[in-house]
Structure 1
Amino acid sequence: MAGDFRDALFAKHRATLEQAMQAARSRAYFSAYPEAPSGRIYGETAKADADAGFAALLAKPFAPGARQVGAEVSPWGPALRITYPSEDVATLVARAEEAAPAWAEASPEHRAGVCLEILHRLNRDSFLMAQAVMHTTGQGWAMAFQAGGPHAQDRGLEAVAYAMEELGKIPGAVRWSKPAGKETLNLDKTFRVIPRGIGLVIGCATFPTWNGYPGLFADLATGNAVIVKPHPAAILPLALTVRTARAVLAEAGFPEDVVQLAPDTADAPLAAELARHPAIGIVDFTGGPAFGGWLRTHVAGAKPLHTEEAGINPVVLHSTADFAGLCRNLAFSLSLYSGQMCTAPQNLFVPSGGIMTESGPKAFDEVAQALAAAVDALLADPARAAGVLGTVQNPATLDRIAAARGLGRVVRDSGTVEMPGFAQARSATPLIVAVEAADRAAWGEERFGPIAFLIRCKDADEALALAAASVREKGAITALVHSTDEAFLQRAETAFARAGVALSENLCGGLFVNQSAAFSDYHVSGANPAGTSCLTDAAFVANRFHIAMARRPAAA
C-alpha cells in the first residue's frame, strides 16, 4: 500500500529531519551528508561506477522524447552530446496541474519523507553528480563533488527543515470555545495548507544544484508541484536530480509529474514564458541581474519571487596581525573556481597609506605585491592550480578579463594554467588591477570571473564607507574586513549590517569568505540588490503556501 510506504519513508528519515530542524534553530554545525569523497563512506567502487555511469550518458538521449534539445560542452574540453526531451510550456503546465492535487493533499510528513528519500538517493549518487557538475560548470572535481553533492543536499534538507518548522505551527483541527454570558460558543475548526501553485526553479550555469535545491525542496515540502528549468549550459545535474525525484515519487504512489524538467536552448528560452504563466505560483531564480531585473519588473508582486543575482563583494583592509595569512587567504578566495562564485570577493579597499601589520606598516604597493605573490605561490603547482581554479564556465568571461586589463594598473595579469589530462580546458588565473577610489566606472559594477580591484582610498574610514555604500547600491552577498582595532570592527559590523550583507572578519586560516554553511549561515540577505530572499529562513518557505480554514458549530 502507498500509505505504508510513505509512512516507512518518513520513519526512515525522521531522525535526520529532527536533527536538521534543531540545527536550523541553534545555528550549530550540522551536515547530514558526508563531504569527503571516500570509498569507505560511499563504497569502494563508487568512483569507478560513477565514471562508467557518466560515460554511459554521453552522446545519446537522456530520456526518450519526440523533441530533443541539448548542446552542453564541458569547460574542460569535450562536448557532452547529451540531448533531453523538451516540451512546450502548455504541456508542462498541464502535466503539473494534473499531478499537483495528489501531492497537495498528502500530509506534510509524507511529503517530507519523499523529499528526504530523494536527497538520500542523490547523496548515494554524489560521485556521478560530481562528474555532471564538473563537466557542465567547469568546477574542479573535488569542488564539484562537495558543492554539487553533499553541500547542495544539505541546502535541500535545510529547506525541508524550515518548511516543516513552519507547517508544524499550523494545527490540523482545534475545538474553539468562547465564554458568552451564560453559554459557551463552541466551534470545531480545521486548517488546511493550500499550495501557492506550480513552483518554477530556474537554474544557473555555475552552481545548478547548490543554488537550485533550496527552491526545489522548499516547494515540494510545502505541497507545490515543480517545474525545473535548467540553464542550457548545465542541464545534466538537474536532469539527474529530476530523474531521481520522479523515481521516488512513483514508488511512493504519487504522480511523477509532480516534478518535471524543462530544458531549453539559448535561442528558444522558456524561462520568461513560464514565469509569466498564471499557473506558476512561485519563482526561484539564480543568475545575472539582467534577467533578474526582468523578473522583478514582470513577476514580483504578482507571485513570490526568490532571486540570487549579482553583487560586488567588498574587502576592507585596515590592519592585521598576520599579514602572510591574510594574503594567503585572500589569494585562495580570489582563485577558487576562478572567481565564479557569488561569494567571491571583487573589490579590495586599501588605504593609500597602506595598512599596519605585525611586522610594521605595509604600503599600498607592498600590499599589492604581496597579494600577487601569494596568488602566484598558490598556483605554482599545476595539479593544485587545476583543482583550485577549475575552468572558466563561459567563454564571455575571458573577454571580460581582457577588457578589465584596461581599467587600471595591472598588478597581476591573468594567464592560463596547464590542466593535466585536459588539453582543451578553458583556464584563467586571477587578474588584479589597481585603481583609484574615484574610478567608480572600473570597480562599481560586477565583473564576473577572476577579476579583482585594489582600490586606493584616502584612509580606512573612506574604505569602509565606500565598501558599505557599494553594497547598498549594487548589492553584495559577502563582505570581509581585516582589522586589529575592535572599535573599527564594530563600525564595520554596523555599516555592513545596515547594508544587509554577511560579514566575515580577520580570516587568515582555513576558513574563507567564499564559504557558506547550511543550517548556520544565512546565505544572501534579501536586504540589498544582490537578491530578493535569504537562503534559508522562515520567509523563504512561509510564502509558498496559504492556509484555508473551515469551521462549524461543535457537536454536542
Structure 2
Amino acid sequence: MTDNFRRHEAMLADALAALQSRAFWTPFPETPSGKIYGESARSDGEAAFQALLGAAFDLPGHPEERRLGAEVSPWGLDLRITYPSAGAGALIAASGRAAAGWTAATPAERAGVCLEILHRLNRQSFLMGHATMHTTGQAFPMAFQAGGPHAQDRGLEAVAVAWQEMMRTPATAVWEKPQGKAAPIVLEKQWRAVPRGISLAIGCNTFPTWNSYPGMFASLVTGNTLIVKPHPAAILPLALTVRIAREVLAEAGFSPDVVLLAVDEAGAEITGDLIAAPEVAIIDYTGSNAFGDHVRANAGGALVFTEEAGVNSITIAGTDDFRGMCSNIAFSLSLYSGQMCTAPQNIYVPKGGIQTDEGPKTLDEVAAGIAGAIDALLADPARASGVCGTIANPATLARVASARGMGGVLRDSAPLAEGRSASPLILQVEDAPDGPHRHECFGPISFIVAVEDADAGIQAAADLARSKGAITAALYDTDEARIARAIDAFAWAGVNLSINLTGGIYVNQSAAFSDYHVTGANPAGNASLTDSAFIAGRFRVVMSRRPKAA
C-alpha cells in the first residue's frame, strides 16, 4: 500500500459506504467559509487568481511547441493567461511514453494518487472558484461549489465506483479441480486490471470541472493515461487541475505526463485530430449533439461516453403549495441563466388550469405566478446577479434575442446589472408538432406549453424526452394514481423525475453519491455519472495461470 492510499483510505471507505446507502455524504464542504477552509483561504485564493492574470501558466516539463490562451471573462475581465500548447501527435507520443509505469502500478497506488489529487484540489477551492467564475460566467458562490467541492465529489465518486469494480476480482487464487482417484489439477491463478490506453476528456465551457472530473478520474484510477482538452474559453480550471495532478504524480514516482493538457484556440482546434488518433482508446465528451455525432463518427474503436443536449420539462397538474411551486420553478429557470444541462425549458400546463391550495388557477394565472416569482427573485440587482450569473457564450445572448419571435412573450428578458447577462425569457406556445419548444433553446429561454389535460402534458414531456433527449423532468401533482403513471412514463423515457419540489432543492441539482446524473437511456447522453457501466469498460481483467508448485 502507498502512503497516499493509507492517508486517504478512510475517505475512500466512507465514499464506498455512501454509494451503498445513497444517503447524503461529502468530505468536501460546499460552504466557502474560512472556518472550514482556513481564515485566509478566501483572500489567498483571490490573490492566487490575480497572480495568474497576464502571466504564462507554468506546467513544468509539459510538452510545449507554442503558447496559447485568449480567455475573456463574461464578467468583463481579460485573463491574458497563456498556456503551453502542443500538437496532437506530440501529446499522444508523450502520453504513450508515460503509460508503462502507470499501467504497472497497483490499483491501490493509482487510487492513492487520485485521492491525493482530489484532496489538494479541495484545498484550492477558492482559487478554483475564481477560475470557474471568470471562465464560465457563474457567480462566485455557484462557481466555488460547482467548480470546486461538487466537482470533487463527482471525481471521488468515480474513484470509489472504479475501486468497487476493480476489487470484484481477487488478485490471486488457487484453483483445484478433483480428478476422481487421480490427483487433482491445481493451478495458481492471477488477475490484473489492464487499462485500454489513452483517455481523452473533452471539456465544456459552462462546467469545465464538474462535467470532466468523473471521466478523468475514472480513467486515471483504472490505469489509463489522460489528455485533458479544455474548451478554448474555459482553460484555467482544467489547467489548474492538470498542474496539481502532475505534481502529485511526480511526487509519487510516476511520469507527470500521465496527465497532459491539450490547449488550442477557436478556429484551430486539435480536438478532431485527438479524436481520430488510433492511440486514443477512451473519449469523454460533454457538449452539443452535432459535435457528439462527429465524435462518434470519427472515434474509430474508442470507447465513447457522452452527455449531450436535451429538452427538460416540467408538467404542472396540480399543487398543494402554489407559491412554493412558483418560487421553486422561478429559481430553477433563473439559476445560471438556464445554462445548466439540467435546467428546465418546457412547462406543460393544462388549458383548463389546475387545482391548488389557493383554489383553481387558470393557465394564465399559473404562468403569471411563475413570471411574478421570477420578478420577485430578481428584484434586488445584487441577488439577481448572484443567481443568474452571466452568459458564457455570446451566441446564447443572440439566441435570447431571436427567441422573442417564437411565441407570445409572457416575461421579457432584460440585461442585469453586471457582465454579459440576460434575465429569463418566458414564451407561451401551443403543443404543436413543429413548435419551437420541441428543440433545445439553450440559455434563459422557457416555454409555457398549453396541453389538453395533465395526462397529455405528462405524455408530451415523456415522448419528447424519448425522442429528443432529456436529463431532468419535474412533475407537480396531488393525484397519487397519476403520479404513479408519470413515474412509469418517465422511467420508460429514460429520464430522472423530481416530484413536488417546493423547498431548497431544485430540479437542476444533482447530488453525488446519491443521484445518477443522466441515465444513458435517451438521446441526451449514452452514459450515466457514475454507474458501473461508466467505469467497467475502461479496463479489462486479464489472467495468468500455472500449475501450483508442489
TM (norm. structure 2) is: 0.98
Aligned match for 1:540, one of 534, 545, 548: 534
Instruction: Specify the alignment match of 1:51 in structure 2.
Output: 46
Aligned match for 2:25, one of 25, 30, 34: 30
Q: In the aligned structure 1, how far is the partner of 2:254 from the partner of 2:411?
A: 56
**CA displacement, residues 307-332 of structure 1 (integer Å, 9 cap, x when unaligned):** 11111001000000000000000000
Q: In the aligned structure 1, how far is the partner of 2:440 from the partner of 2:181?
A: 69
Structure 2's unaligned 5+ residue stretches are none
Q: In the aligned structure 1, how far is the partner of 2:74 from the partner of 2:89?
A: 33
Instruction: Specify the alignment match of 1:280 in structure 2.
Output: 280
| Pairing of 1:220-259 with structure 2 (within 5 A) | 220-259=220-259
Aligned match for 1:461, one of 455, 465, 470: 455
| Pairing of 1:244-323 with structure 2 (within 5 A) | 244-299=244-299, 302-323=301-322
Aligned match for 1:496, one of 486, 490, 495: 490
Instruction: Specify the alignment match of 2:413 in structure 1.
Output: 414
Structure 1's unaligned 5+ residue stretches are 1-5, 420-424
**CA displacement, residues 362-418 of structure 1 (integer Å, 9 cap, x when unaligned):** 101111111111000000001110100000000001111111110110000000111
Larger deviation, residues 291-300 vs 181-190:
291-300
CA shift, 1:470, in A, is: 0.2
Paired residue secondary structure (2:323): helix
Instruction: Specify the alignment match of 2:420 in structure 1.
Output: 426
Instruction: Specify the alignment match of 2:436 in structure 1.
Output: 442
Aligned match for 2:9, one of 10, 14, 20: 14
Paired residue secondary structure (1:78): coil
Instruction: Specify the alignment match of 1:81 in structure 2.
Output: 80
Paired residue secondary structure (1:210): coil
Q: In the aligned structure 1, how far is the partner of 2:25 from the partner of 2:442?
A: 31
CA shift, 1:63, in A, is: 2.4
**CA displacement, residues 333-379 of structure 1 (integer Å, 9 cap, x when unaligned):** 00000000000000001100111101211101111111111000000
Larger deviation, residues 58-67 vs 380-389:
58-67
Counterpart of 1:55, as a letter, is Q
Q: In the aligned structure 1, how far is the partner of 2:326 from the partner of 2:502?
A: 8
Q: In the aligned structure 2, how far is the partner of 1:552 from the partner of 1:497?
A: 48
Q: In the aligned structure 2, how far is the partner of 1:310 from the partner of 1:395?
A: 18
Paired residue secondary structure (2:305): strand
CA shift, 1:501, in A, is: 0.5
**CA displacement, residues 29-84 of structure 1 (integer Å, 9 cap, x when unaligned):** 11110111000111111111111111110112112744011110100002111111
Q: In the aligned structure 1, how far is the partner of 2:264 from the partner of 2:194?
A: 30
| Pairing of 1:152-167 with structure 2 (within 5 A) | 152-167=151-166
Q: In the aligned structure 1, how far is the partner of 2:135 from the partner of 2:507?
A: 24
Paired residue secondary structure (1:207): coil
| Pairing of 1:58-137 with structure 2 (within 5 A) | 58-63=53-58, 65-137=64-136
Larger deviation, residues 265-274 vs 150-159:
265-274
Instruction: Specify the alignment match of 1:422 in structure 2.
Output: none
CA contact (8 A) 2:471 2:519 kept: yes
Q: In the aligned structure 2, how far is the partner of 1:60 from the partner of 1:394?
A: 24
| Pairing of 1:373-412 with structure 2 (within 5 A) | 373-412=372-411
Q: In the aligned structure 1, how far is the partner of 2:378 from the partner of 2:5?
A: 47
Aligned match for 2:480, one of 486, 494, 498: 486
Larger deviation, residues 52-61 vs 115-124:
52-61
**CA displacement, residues 145-192 of structure 1 (integer Å, 9 cap, x when unaligned):** 001000000000000000000001121111111112223111111111
- What is the number of residues matched between the two proteins? 545
Runs of 4+ in 1 over 3 A off after TM superposition: none
Instruction: Specify the alignment match of 2:467 in structure 1.
Output: 473
Q: In the aligned structure 1, how far is the partner of 2:65 from the partner of 2:304?
A: 32
Larger deviation, residues 157-166 vs 303-312:
303-312
**CA displacement, residues 489-531 of structure 1 (integer Å, 9 cap, x when unaligned):** 0011000000001100000111100000000001000000000
Q: In the aligned structure 2, how far is the partner of 1:88 from the partner of 1:402?
A: 38
Counterpart of 2:26, as a letter, is S
CA shift, 1:296, in A, is: 2.3
Counterpart of 1:141, as a letter, is F
Counterpart of 2:302, as a letter, is K
CA shift, 1:440, in A, is: 3.3
CA contact (8 A) 2:409 2:428 kept: yes
Instruction: Specify the alignment match of 2:548 in structure 1.
Output: 554
Cα RMSD over matched residues? 1.0
Instruction: Specify the alignment match of 1:358 in structure 2.
Output: 357
Counterpart of 2:68, as a letter, is V
Q: In the aligned structure 2, how far is the partner of 1:21 from the partner of 1:299?
A: 33
Instruction: Specify the alignment match of 1:200 in structure 2.
Output: 200
CA shift, 1:439, in A, is: 5.6
Q: In the aligned structure 1, how far is the partner of 2:277 from the partner of 2:244?
A: 26
Instruction: Specify the alignment match of 1:180 in structure 2.
Output: 179
CA contact (8 A) 2:429 2:435 kept: no
Paired residue secondary structure (2:342): coil
Q: In the aligned structure 2, how far is the partner of 1:263 from the partner of 1:354?
A: 52
Q: In the aligned structure 1, how far is the partner of 2:392 from the partner of 2:228?
A: 21
Larger deviation, residues 60-69 vs 153-162:
60-69
**CA displacement, residues 221-266 of structure 1 (integer Å, 9 cap, x when unaligned):** 1001000000000000000000000000000000000000001112
Counterpart of 1:386, as a letter, is S
Larger deviation, residues 39-48 vs 225-234:
39-48
CA shift, 1:28, in A, is: 1.1
Aligned match for 1:526, one of 520, 524, 536: 520
Counterpart of 1:241, as a letter, is T
Q: In the aligned structure 1, how far is the partner of 2:329 from the partner of 2:173?
A: 56
Q: In the aligned structure 2, how far is the partner of 1:496 from the partner of 1:520?
A: 19
CA shift, 1:297, in A, is: 2.6
Q: In the aligned structure 2, how far is the partner of 1:149 from the partner of 1:494?
A: 35
CA contact (8 A) 2:65 2:87 kept: no
Q: In the aligned structure 1, how far is the partner of 2:52 from the partner of 2:474?
A: 42
Q: In the aligned structure 1, how far is the partner of 2:541 from the partner of 2:491?
A: 33
Paired residue secondary structure (2:372): helix
**CA displacement, residues 430-480 of structure 1 (integer Å, 9 cap, x when unaligned):** 000000011633100101000000000011111111100000011000000
CA contact (8 A) 2:70 2:232 kept: yes
Instruction: Specify the alignment match of 1:142 in structure 2.
Output: 141
Paired residue secondary structure (1:209): coil
